[in-house]
Amino acid sequence: MEIRIRTVLGSFEIDLLRRLDTGFTATAVLQVVGGADGFRLREVPVSPPVRKRYDLTEGVTEGGRLWDLYALAIDGDQPAGFMATTYQRWNGRQVVNELHVAPTYRRRGVARELIGIAQVTARENAAREIWLETQNVNVAAVRAYRRLGFALTGIDTTRYPPPYADEVALFMSAAVPPAPGDPASQPTGGQSADAMGGAGLTDR
What is the tens place of the pLDDT at every residue in 150-179? 999 999 999 999 999 999 999 999 999 998
Which residues, including other chains, have CB under 8 Å from residue 63's CB and lie 6 or more apart?
none
Tens-digit pLDDT profile for residues 43-95: 999 999 999 999 888 778 776 778 999 999 999 999 999 999 999 999 999 99
The residue among 145, 170, 146 whose CA lies nearest residue 156 is 170
How many C-beta atoms lie closer than 10 Å to residue 118's C-beta?
25
How many C-beta atoms lie closer than 10 Å to residue 75's C-beta?
17
Give the integer Cα–Cα distance in Å for 42 and 23.
23
Tens-digit pLDDT profile for residues 128-151: 999 999 999 999 999 999 999 999
Residues in the chain: 204
Question: What pLDDT is attached to residue 185?
Answer: 60
pTM: 0.86
CB 148 within 8 A of CB 115: yes
Give the integer Cα–Cα distance in Å for 7 and 9.
7
Question: What pLDDT is attached to residue 190?
Answer: 38
Question: What pLDDT is attached to residue 62?
Answer: 73
Q: Exposed/middle/buried for 57, CB within 10 Å: 0-12, 13-18, 19+? A: exposed
Give the integer Cα–Cα distance in Å for 37 and 148.
29
User: Mapping DSSP to helix (H, G, I), strand (E, B) and coil, where does residue 117 land?
Assistant: helix
Tens-digit pLDDT profile for residues 1-34: 799 999 988 889 999 999 999 999 999 999 999 8
Amino acid at 11: S
Backbone torsions φ then ψ of 69, nearest 5 degrees: -145, 135
- Kindly list the distances between the CA atom of residue 196 and the CA atoms of 24, 191, 192, in Å, as whole numbers in the listed order: 26, 11, 9
Question: What pLDDT is attached to residue 197?
Answer: 26
